[in-house]
């Protein structure tokens, strides 16, 4: 460096400084970290909330449903127990009612099942199921109490007397059953000791608005046959009023063919049946009348009337004696022993130890007038004028101007007695019967009158209704 220069002389090394923390600095750092950790812990963690919120909500809902289910179960166990229900029904009906057990079943559908329901020690219902639908369960969960659907009584057999006892209870059912239960149904009910009412029946008892249970509807179907009764109890008169309707129905007595339609109204009590009006009809026409039955000294007596105007005899005989081998159209066109339009008004009577025996043994009698009568199978005029002819009974027809007779039907026999027929000078009298096999037997006396010198002839009737045969 030159003399007199002011520059600082350069050296071969430099002095530096290093900041080394002391104890105070370390404590300050620790305090600051502790503050950050405390803040982090106090801050709300949104991530954890998003994870646990749905789980907590599901747990809360499940707990609520479990609580409601426990409350419902406790209510059912106390108020719907067999003992509680027995007491409530006994009080409402005014009769002793005993239920053996009650239980809630899930399959095949939710329902309350009551077993061995004894009513007044006279009627025992083996099983009664009170159906509960999903709508009704939802109403329970809403806190609106039990709301039942319908009560169904399982298949069983009852006597007519037991049925009448149940019908007498209809007016009391409104107070005995919950207001939400709208229908009581008997499924496949059999009637014991009455073959012609055996069933099976479906009986429906429906609540009618605010009037309660007033009537029962009983219906029995077998193929195309329908038999329906509407039953209304009259407690004051100790009887049951009924309306009957039938389609394609075969009566248990009398005619052996189905009636296309039948109607009747009447009243039934313990010892009497009154049917003031009935009507039945089919392709042959229609009949109407009244009937009654009485029980006295252990014997049933039946009586009634039958009236008809213009019955088609050909159609009636085809129904009484059908021809199985023929088609329907051929059978409808085939000739019968007798044709014409019959009118009559007669009575029937019968007695028996039971109502079935009395009706089966009833005998009907009536004078019959036939318009436009035609006898098929023989020409009686030709037979009378050719008594020795080889073809005297070999076919033809006889048309009468008038024909009258007395018809008597009972058991398996139908007879036409006191036959009186005329065709000009030709006069015919006699009697013809038809048995259960539709076979004919009888005799006709043919007279040509005083104007002819030929003697009266005797014509035997045999064969069947569909194929009558005649001979001397």
Instruction: Name beta bridge partners: 186.
Output: 153, 203
Do the domain assignments include residue 356? no
More confident residue, 222 or 451: 222
Do the domain assignments include residue 92? yes
Q: Between the CA atoms of 292, 298, 299 and 304, what dihedral angle is there, to the nearest 10 degrees?
A: 0
* Range in 20-29, 164-173, 367-376 with the lowest mean pLDDT: 20-29
- 362 has a pLDDT exceeding 70: yes
Q: Can you give the chain as a three-state secondary structure string?
A: CCCCCCCCCCCCCCCCCCCCCCHHHHHHHHHHHHHHHHHHHHCCCHHHHHHHHHHHHHHHHHHHHHHHHHHHHHHHHHHCCHHHHHHHHHHHHCCCEEEEEEEEECCCCCEEEEEEEEECCCEEEEEEEEECCHHHHHHHHCCCCCCCCEEEECCEEECHHHHHHHHHCHHHHHHHCCCCCCEEEEEEEEECCCHHHCCCEEEEEEECCCCCEEEEEEEEEECCEEEEEEEEEECCCCEEEEEEEEEEECCCCCCCCCEEEEEEEEEECCCEEEEEEEEEEECCEEEEEEEEEEEECCEEEEEEEEEEEEEEHHHHHHHHCCCCCCCHHHHHHCCCCEEEEEEEEEEEEEEECCHHHHHHCCEEEEEEEEEEEEEECECHHHHHHCCCCCCCCCECEEECCEEEEEEEEECCEEEEEEEEEEECCEEEEEEEEECCCCEEEEEEEEECCCCCCCCCEEEEEEEECCCEEEEC
| Mean pLDDT, residues 49-54 | 70
Do the domain assignments include residue 342? no
- 249 has a pLDDT exceeding 70: yes
Do the domain assignments include residue 351? no
Residue with tokens 């398996």: 412
pLDDT of 33 reads 72
The domain of 182 spans 66-249
More confident residue, 307 or 179: 307
Domain count within the chain:
1
- 463 has a pLDDT exceeding 50: yes
**Could you tell me the pLDDT band of residue 130, with boundaries at 50, 70 and 90?**
confident
> What's the chain's average pLDDT?
80
* Range in 219-228, 304-313, 388-397 with the lowest mean pLDDT: 388-397
**382-427, pLDDT tens digit by residue?**
888 876 654 555 678 999 999 999 999 987 889 999 999 999 888 9
pLDDT of 82 reads 78
pLDDT of 14 reads 53
* Range in 134-143, 318-327, 434-443 with the lowest mean pLDDT: 134-143
Do the domain assignments include residue 434? no
**415-460, pLDDT tens digit by residue?**
999 999 999 888 999 999 998 888 999 999 998 876 555 678 899 9
- 329 has a pLDDT exceeding 50: no
pLDDT of 370 reads 94
More confident residue, 201 or 150: 201
Do the domain assignments include residue 444? no
| Mean pLDDT, residues 61-85 | 69
pTM comes to 0.73
| Mean pLDDT, residues 7-27 | 58
Do the domain assignments include residue 347? no
More confident residue, 241 or 33: 241
Do the domain assignments include residue 120? yes
């Amino acid at each position: 460096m030159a003399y007199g220069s002011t520059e600082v002389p350069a050296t071969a090394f430099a002095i530096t400084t290093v900041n080394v923390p002391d104890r105070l600095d370390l404590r300050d750092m620790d305090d600051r970290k502790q503050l950050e950790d405390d803040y982090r812990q106090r801050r709300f963690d949104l991530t954890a909330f998003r994870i646990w919120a749905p789980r907590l909500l599901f747990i809360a809902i499940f707990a609520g449903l479990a609580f409601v289910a426990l409350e419902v179960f406790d209510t059912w166990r106390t108020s719907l127990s067999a003992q509680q229900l027995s007491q409530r029904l006994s009080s409402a009906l005014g009769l002793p009612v005993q239920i053996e057990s009650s239980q809630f079943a899930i399959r095949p559908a939710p329902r309350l099942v009551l077993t061995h329901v004894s009513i007044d020690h006279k009627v025992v219902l083996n099983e009664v199921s009170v159906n509960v639908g999903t709508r009704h369960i939802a109403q329970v969960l809403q806190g609106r109490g039990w709301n039942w659907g319908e009560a169904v009584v399982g298949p069983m057999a009852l006597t007519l007397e037991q049925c009448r006892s149940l019908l007498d209870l209809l007016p009391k059912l409104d107070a005995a059953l919950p207001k939400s239960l709208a229908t009581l149904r008997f499924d496949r009910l059999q009637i014991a000791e009455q073959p012609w009412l055996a069933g099976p029946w479906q009986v429906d008892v429906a609540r009618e608005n605010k009037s309660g249970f007033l009537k029962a509807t009983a219906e029995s179907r077998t193929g195309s046959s329908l038999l329906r009764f509407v039953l209304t109890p009259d407690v004051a008169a100790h009887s049951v009023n009924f309306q009957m309707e039938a389609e394609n129905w075969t009566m248990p007595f009398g005619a052996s063919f189905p009636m296309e339609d039948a109607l009747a109204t009447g009243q039934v009590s313990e010892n009497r049946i009154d049917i003031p009006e009935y009507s039945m009809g089919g392709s042959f026409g229609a009949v109407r009348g009244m009937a009654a039955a009485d029980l006295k000294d252990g014997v049933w007596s039946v009586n009634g009337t039958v009236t008809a105007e213009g019955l088609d005899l050909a159609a009636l005989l085809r129904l009484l004696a059908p021809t199985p081998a023929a088609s329907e159209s051929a059978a409808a066109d085939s000739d019968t022993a007798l044709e014409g339009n019959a009118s009559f008004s007669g009575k029937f009577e019968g007695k028996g130890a039971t109502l079935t025996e009395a009706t089966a043994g009833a005998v009907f009698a009536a004078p019959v007038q036939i318009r436009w009568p035609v006898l098929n199978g023989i020409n009686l005029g030709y037979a009378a004028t050719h008594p020795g002819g080889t073809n005297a009974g070999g076919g033809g027809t006889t048309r009468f101007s008038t024909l009258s007779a007395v018809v008597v039907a009972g058991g398996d026999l139908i007879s036409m007695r006191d036959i009186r027929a005329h065709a000009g000078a030709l006069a015919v009298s006699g009697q013809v019967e038809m048995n259960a096999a539709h076979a004919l037997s009888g005799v006709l006396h043919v007279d040509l009158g005083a104007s002819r010198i030929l003697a009266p002839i005797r014509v035997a009737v045999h064969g069947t209704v569909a194929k009558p045969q005649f001979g001397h």
